[in-house]
Structure 1
Amino acid sequence: MTLEQFTREEGQVARRYEYDDAAVLAVDFGTEHAETAVDVVDETVIVVVDGEQYELELPDGADDAHTFMKNGVLTVEMEGDL
């Protein structure tokens, strides 16, 4: 899945921020979604929003990834040689 596939709903915003040895992906699903969950399995970020599942493969060189959801915003923090 590419970053653009996260923005298939109108008004949904997704951004990727690059740093020297890290990258951050932020996707705004909106606060109206009651049921959200996120997890990292192997090299894949799995997001479930109101029963709809999204999957995002971590880029090559991502040694460590941390994910969390807050106020409808998914944040994926990746470290490594991206």
Structure 2
Amino acid sequence: MTLEQFTREEGQVARRYEYDECSVLAVDFGADHAEASVDLVDGTVIVVVEDEQYEIELPDGAGDAHTFIKNGVLTVELEGDL
């Protein structure tokens, strides 16, 4: 999973946070993209923003993954040892 693909190409702000029991990935697509959608399919997070589609492959050690997008901010919560 690379955050650089978001910050380099599109200028979004992307961060990864590490906690004791999980990791959190947050990507801000901007309030203009509040209608973006996210789905999780076979270990791949798929984000659709207007006519663009982004895919994030989750690492092999990721357990349960929870994804949601609100006000243009994508959040991916990963449990397990990464």
- Same fold? TM cut 0.5: yes
**Mapped contact 2:28–2:74 kept (Cα < 8 A):** yes
Q: Percent identity?
A: 79
Higher helix proportion (structure 1 or 2)? 2
Q: 1:35 Cα shift?
A: 3.3
The number of residues matched between the two structures is 81
**Mapped contact 2:27–2:73 kept (Cα < 8 A):** yes
- SS at structure 1 position matched to 2:32: coil
Higher strand proportion (structure 1 or 2)? 1
Structure-1-length-normalised TM-score: 0.91
- SS at structure 2 position matched to 1:62: coil
Structure-2-length-normalised TM-score: 0.91
Runs of 4+ in 1 over 4 A off after TM superposition: none
RMSD of aligned C-alpha atoms?
A: 1.2
Alpha-carbon distance in structure 2 between the residues aligned to 1:16 and 1:34: 21
What runs of 5+ residues in structure 2 fail to find an aligned partner? none
What runs of 5+ residues in structure 1 fail to find an aligned partner? none
Q: What are the superposed Cα offsets for residues 4-51 of structure 1, whole Å, 9 maximum, x if unpaired?
A: 1012223x1000001122100000000112531101001100000012
Matched with 1:9 is 10
